[in-house]
Structure 1
Amino acid sequence: MNRRDRLRDTEPESGELTLCREGDSLVLAGDPALYGKPLRVDFAEGRAAHRRRFGGGRGQLIARACGLASGITPSVIDATAGLGRDAFVLASLGAEVLLIERVAAIHALLEDGLARAASDADTAEIVARMHLAHGDATRDLAALVAASTVAPQVIHLDPMFPHREKSALVKKEMRLFRELAGDDADAPRLLEAALDVATHRVVVKRPRKAPPIAGPAPQHVIEGKTSRYDLYVHRSLKT
């Protein structure tokens, strides 16, 4: 059985993951010693709320990389949605965002988090700009975008960086996420698909010292302390 499908409705055994309800939230739970606290998507509280209030607005690295500037608010396809944190930042800055997630369990967490945020006065307007799709962007990006109402001006990619056994032990949340999502060995195909579909630019998030994804070289790089954004530009974004 594929690890992306290895979910149960009973108490998880060591190394197994379970989708279950915890209070008003859907969570993904596993052995706490391996994975820590159950994983949930929450756009109204916690890290997302702090970043919404104090994150730095359009001066943030991701906003600059995606071309959000004074008078310019492009639409964005987040083709590796994950837990939706980057998409929420972009939507909080006014962008219409299509989130594409291929792992069924993570898509379910996103769907649950968006539904709860839609009932919160502080986040309802933001998540109204977030549109969720379940599918594999490496194979079906063009079809997923065509079926949505979001124009593919900017495509944002944040593929999982391959884990090296000799590296420091990753955080428990990331370990849980990697158990489901894998190492995104198909990132070069995803980049190729994004370059075919994006009308203006493709933005790829990478660890600061990591090599670019195999394929064409990025035209521009925006670098932060721990991560960077590789930019592949077709044409400039205009007001």
Structure 2
Amino acid sequence: MSTAVNVRIEALAPEFVDRVGMLAEALGLPLAGEAEFALQLGAGGLQLQELGPEAAGPVRVDFLEGAVAHRRQHGGGNGQMIAKAVGIQSGVRPVVLDATAGLGRDAFLLAQLGCRVTLIERHPLIGALLADGLGRALVDPEVAPIIERMDLRLGNAIELIREWSAEPPQVIYLDPMFPHRDKTSLVKKEMRVFRPLVGSDDDAAQLLQAALELATHRVVVKRPRKAPSVDGQPPGYVLEGKSSRYDIYPKKALKAR
């Protein structure tokens, strides 16, 4: 669940002042004052910056450069473990609901591989970063077709799933917040920013149950490799990697259309 931290919003250049004012009103953030984090808008888009003498670098959503671009160009396609977990195979591109979207990287990968993906993010600041990244990527001619397969919804995933009125997704993908033990500086930086903001997903068991009731074909839960299953509920089967695994709760087989 989210935790209470002080966040202000600021423009990194004068031409962004008006947009920052609108964002401040929409997100309920102050434009000045003491804060632990700053939501900043500049030429590179929206970013979340930890403040203080030992602050980590900014966190932003970028589908055009960096790790996401490298994964898009060299990621291994349908052979990647997440692709196998959600059921991608020859002639099968399931409709996926990513109910814990975060920075949108897994959703982007699935969309790149041809799935239509609905993303849900409940924390307003993370949602703002995600919306900004999607918007910037949409103007890139190479990446825009991928972004067009992604639909962002903001709100509590449990409530949105329980109130779902559209056609149910075939697959629901969950990646509840857990303490990452990866030693990369990128992960450390993001967890250092995310953890105070969003806390831990203490309602992961309720989310899993809601997902199992809505998904037509399977629910997939990403977990640390040695962590217990969510709420002690054993999956039908598991795909295991070096540091993480995918718990798969099958309901019925995915078939080519």
Q: Same fold (TM over 0.5)?
A: yes
Indicate the structure (1 or 2) with the bigger Cα radius of gyration.
2
Report if aligned partners of 1:154, 1:200 keep a CA contact under 8 Å in 2.
yes
> Counterpart in 2 of 1:113?
133
Deviates more, 1:32-41 or 1:60-69: 32-41
TM normalised by structure 2 equals 0.83
Counterpart selection for 2:45 from 18, 21, 25: 25
Q: SS of the counterpart of 1:110?
A: helix
Question: Where does residue 172 of structure 1 map in the other structure?
Answer: 189
Q: Give the corresponding residue for 2:208.
A: 191
Q: Compute the displacement of 1:6 (Å).
A: 3.5
Q: Which runs of 5+ in 1 are unaligned?
A: none
Any idea what the Cα deviations from partners look like across 1:113-146, whole Å, max 9, x if unmatched?
A: 0000000112100000000000111233132x43
**Counterparts in 2 of 1:102 and 1:56: CA distance versus 1, 3 Å:** same
Shift of 1:108: 0.3
Structure 1 Cα separation of the partners of residues 145 and 231 of structure 2: 38
Distance 1:228 1:113 in 2: 27
Report the equivalent of 2:220.
Answer: 203
Contact 1:212 1:230 (C-alpha < 8 Å) held by counterparts: yes
SS in 2 for 1:29: strand
Q: Give the structure 2 partner of residue 152 of structure 1.
A: 169
| Distance in 1 between residues matched to 2:99 and 2:213, nearest whole Å | 13
- CA deviation vs aligned residue, 1:146-200 (integer Å, no higher than 9, x gap): 35xx741000000011589xxxx97122110111111101111110110011110
One-letter code aligned to 2:148? A
Q: Are the structure 2 counterparts of residues 64 and 29 from structure 1 closer, same or farther at C-alpha, using a change threshold of 3 Å? A: same
Match of 2:92 among 45, 64, 72: 72
CA distance in 2, matches of 1:112, 1:138: 24
SS of 1:39's partner is: coil
Task: Please give the secondary structure, in 2, of the residue aligned with 1:146.
Answer: coil
**Partner Cα separation in structure 2 for residue 36 and residue 115 of structure 1:** 25
- Give the equivalent residue in structure 1 for 2:14: none
> Which letter maps to 2:105?
R
Asked whether 1:232 is paired with 2:249, we answer yes
Distance, in Å, in 2 between the alignment partners of 1:11 and 1:171 is 27
Conserved in 2, the CA contact under 8 Å of 1:76 and 1:151? no
Aligned partners of 1:162, 1:55: CA distance in 2, in Å?
24
Which residue of the partner structure matches residue 7 of structure 1? 7
Aligned to 1:51: 71
Deviating runs (4+, > 3 A) in structure 1? 2-6, 10-14, 32-35
Alignment-derived partner of residue 98 in structure 1: 118
Q: Structure 2: where are the runs of 5+ without partners?
A: 10-30
- SS of residue in 2 equivalent to 1:230: strand
CA RMSD, Structure 1 to Structure 2 (Å): 2.2
Measured after TM superposition, the shift of residue 105 of structure 1 is 0.2
